[in-house]
Amino acid sequence: VEFLYCDLASMKSIRQFVQQFRAKNCPLHVLVNNAGVMLVPERKTEDGFEEHFGLNYLGHFLLTNLLLDTLKQSGTHSHNARIITVSSATHYVGKLHLNDLQSRCSYSPHGAYAQSKLALVLFTYQLQHLLTANGSHVTANVVDPGVVNTELYKHVFWVVKVVKWMTAWLFFKTPEEGASTTIYAAVSPELEGAGGCYLYNEERTKSADVAYDEELQRRLWTESCKMVGISDEASRLP
């Protein structure tokens, strides 16, 4: 195991990480997008993005796009490279505000978190569409890990923390259990060549209806390219 530092809340850090990784001339067979914050108070990343949207979504959007060439070169017809993005069941109640992605008009920790998780699902479906159109040997899937007992809940109200402490053993998954569907998406032979899936408990399931809106997928993709400073056309090249 070799560690390379990457701060998903910093566009500069992401670009530096990709430069370091590329310098190693290593193939890239599996990319798991799993960083995240939840219900944080209103604050911004160093690039001025609302933190949920900037870290949970835009950081992964930029990282994935900058690594696409390496992924495409690493995948083969019989062994596709795989991109796995971790979302949440919270995306089912999320609303994407294309005119206010930074939640400037009205900030809600719950709303901002849900929007970031919905954006990840929309991103995955559009990414798979582009990969398929380019004939790339890369698949993109999105995972719902379930309710997992981690430090992600440190910003919730204290009463919720007490309830979590008392009931986690019964209702929450352990981190190992929560990782099972991500691992399944990364290595299962059943998913070889299969992309654009929403996975929960190691099974394909249906995501929110709005996530299948292809026009919304395209508009989010285009806007995201502008926000992180990459070419929309370049990201579509094989």
**Which residues are annotated as catalytic?**
113
Separation of alpha carbons 45 and 51, rounded Å = 5
Helix 11-23 crosses helix 59-74 at what angle (to 10 degrees)?
A: 20
- Longest pairwise C-alpha distance within the chain: 51
Separation of alpha carbons 162 and 231, rounded Å = 47
The secondary structure of 90-139 as a DSSP string is GGGG----TT-TT--SS--HHHHHHHHHHHHHHHHHHHHHHHHHTT-SEE
Give the burial class of 76: count Cβ atoms within 10 A of its Cβ; 0-12 exposed, 13-18 middle, 19 or more buried. Answer: exposed
Separation of alpha carbons 75 and 183, rounded Å = 18
Q: Hey, how many other C-beta atoms are within 10 angstroms of the C-beta on 211? A: 24
Separation of alpha carbons 75 and 96, rounded Å = 32
Separation of alpha carbons 86 and 117, rounded Å = 8
